[in-house]
Amino acid sequence: MLHRILRSLFYSLALFAVIISFAACSGSNENIGGVKVIPIGETLEGSHKFAKMSDYFSGIDYIPLQTDSICMLGNGYKLGFPGDNIVIADAVSRRCMLFGKDGSFKGFVGDLGNANGEYSIFMDLSVNPFNGEIGVYDFRKVVVYDRNGNFVRNVVCGDMASERGFFLASVELFDKYYVMNGCDYYNDDAYSIFIDENVNIVHIDGQIAEPDNLSNERPPMPLGGRDAAKAYIFDNELYILSKRADTIFSYNNSLQKTPRYILDYGKFVGEKRVAINGVRTYESDNILLFGLFTFSNRFAFMHEYKLTMCYMVYNKRSGKTEIIPYDVSAGKYGFENDIDGSGMSFLPMAVEGNAMYQVVDSYRFIECAERSNSAKMKAVAATLTDESNPVLVKAVLK
C-alpha cells in the first residue's frame, strides 16, 4: 500500500512540474519539459491541412486473404502480428484466425466454447511483443495461445473484476503482465490494472481508490458512456490514455512511468467538446494517429451531422497535426491516397514495424478499384468476387 501511495505522489509531482512548465512556456507547440505537445485545438480551429498518403507513406500493397469455406471472415476486424503471421479477429463469427503475410490461411486460434482453452465470446485481442503470445479476452478470462495458435493458459480475471467493481473493456499482453483497461463502476474513473498469471494485482494506473476500498454496487451507466482507459504498445512500451486526461503516459516492462505527450486542446479544454478516443490509436517512429470524440461540437470538415468522431495524425518530425479527411465515396475517414493512382483512402487498423495495415471487404475493394485508375488495384480486384474474403492493405511508412 505504502509503495503505491509514494509512487502515486511521485507521478503527481512530476505531472505538476510539467503543467507549470506548460504555463510558463505558452505559445510553444513543440516541447514542454521534454514532453511533446500535440496541438489539437490549434488544428481544429482552422489552421490545418488534410493528410495525404504521400506525406507519410512510400508505397502500398494489396494482399487478398485466402478464400475458403472454412476461413470466411465477416466484419469488425482486429489485427495482431505474432511472429511471421497475422491474427485477425472477426467480430461476426467471433473467431480468431491466423493468416500468413502472403494472405494464406494457416489455421484457427482456439475455438468458441467454455472448455479449457476456449473463449465464450470475443471481446478483445492482443499480441505480446516480447514473446508473440496471443491473448483473447472474453470478459471472464484471457485465453493465451502461442504464436502458432496453440493453447498455453487461461488467466481468469472476471471474478476479480466483479468483486472490486471493475468494468474491464480491453486487454494488452505486455511482457509478463496482463494489462486490463477499463473503469470502475462507481465513479467512472478510467484505470489500467496490471496483473500476473495468478491474477495478483501488481500495479494500478488511474485516479481510483485502492481496489479493496471500492464499492461493489453497480450504478447505471453514466450519461455519455464510460471513461474506460485505453492502451496500445509501441517500441516495447505500453502507452495509456483516456478521454478525461490531457497526458499520454508510457510504461516500460519494469513499470517505470514516463509522460510522453501533452494533448493541447486549446480553447476546447475542459468543455467536454473534444476528447481523445483511444480505440484506434497507432504509433510508429514518425507519426501518431488517433481519433477524437467531438461530442456536441461540429467542424466544417466533418461530412455528416451525425458523426461524433474524426481522426488526426501527428507528425513527430515537424510537430504539426493534420486532419484525416472524410472520403465521401467510401463512407469513412482515411488518408487521401495520392501514391497509387487515386486509389482507395486508407485508415489503419494496425501497425507493425514500418508498415500500417487495413482490412477491406472484397465488395468495397472492387467498387473502389472501378473508380480508381490504379493498375495494381484493378489487377487484384479482377481476382475477387463479392463473396471473396477481404483484402489486406499494407502501406509502407517513410
Lowest mean pLDDT among 1-5, 224-228, 331-335, 364-368: 1-5
Instruction: Assign 28 a pLDDT band (cuts: 50, 70, 90).
Output: very low
pLDDT-based confidence at 1, cuts 50/70/90? very low
Global pTM value: 0.86
Q: CATH number of 33-397: 2.60.120.200, 3.40.50.300, 3.50.70.10, 2.120.10.30? A: 2.120.10.30
State the Cα–Cα distance between residues 277 and 293, nearest whole angstrom. Answer: 6
pLDDT at 299: 77
Q: Give CB contacts under 8 A, 24+ apart, made by 317-321.
A: 317/286, 319/29, 319/30, 319/31, 319/36, 319/37, 319/39, 320/39, 321/38, 321/39, 321/40, 321/42, 321/43, 321/48
CB 115 within 8 A of CB 156: no
Which pLDDT band holds residue 24 (cuts at 50, 70, 90)? very low
Q: Which helix (H) or strand (E) holds 202?
A: strand 201-206
- Mean pLDDT, the chain, rounded, equals 83
Secondary structure (DSSP) of 320-361: -EEEEPEETTTTEE-BB--SSSS---B--SEEETTEEEEEE-
Q: What is the pLDDT of residues 252-296, one digit of tens each?
A: 999 999 999 999 988 887 655 788 888 889 999 999 999 988 865
Residue in 143, 146, 138 with CA at minimum distance from that of residue 155: 143
Between 115 and 60, residue with greater pLDDT: 60
Residue 21 has pLDDT above 80, yes or no: no
Per-residue confidence band for 156, with pLDDT thresholds at 50, 70 and 90: very high
105 neighbors 144 (Cβ within 8 angstroms) = no
pLDDT of the residue at 386: 93
Q: How far apart are CA 203 and CA 192, in angstroms?
A: 8
State yes or no: pLDDT of 240 exceeds 50.
yes
Quick count: other Cβ atoms within 10 Å of Cβ 224? 12
Place 311 in a pLDDT band, splitting at 50, 70 and 90.
very high
**Residue 107's pLDDT is what?**
94
What is residue 224's predicted lDDT score, i.e. its pLDDT? 47
Between residues 272 and 349, which one has the greater pLDDT?
Answer: 349
Output the pLDDT for position 313: 96
pLDDT by residue (tens digit) across 35-65? 999 999 888 887 668 899 999 999 999 999 9
At 16 the pLDDT is 44
- pLDDT band for 304, please (50, 70, 90 cuts): low
Per-residue pLDDT reduced to its tens digit, 58-111: 999 999 999 999 999 988 789 999 999 999 998 888 889 999 999 999 999 988
Of 89, 93, 91, 86, residue with least CA distance to 69: 93
* Mean pLDDT calculated for residue range 330-341: 86
Host H or E run for residue 7? helix 2-24
- Kindly tell me if the per-residue pLDDT of 337 is higher than 60: yes
Nearest to 162 by CA among 180, 179, 140: 140
In tens, the pLDDT along 131-141 reads: 999 999 988 89
Residue 217 above 70 pLDDT? no
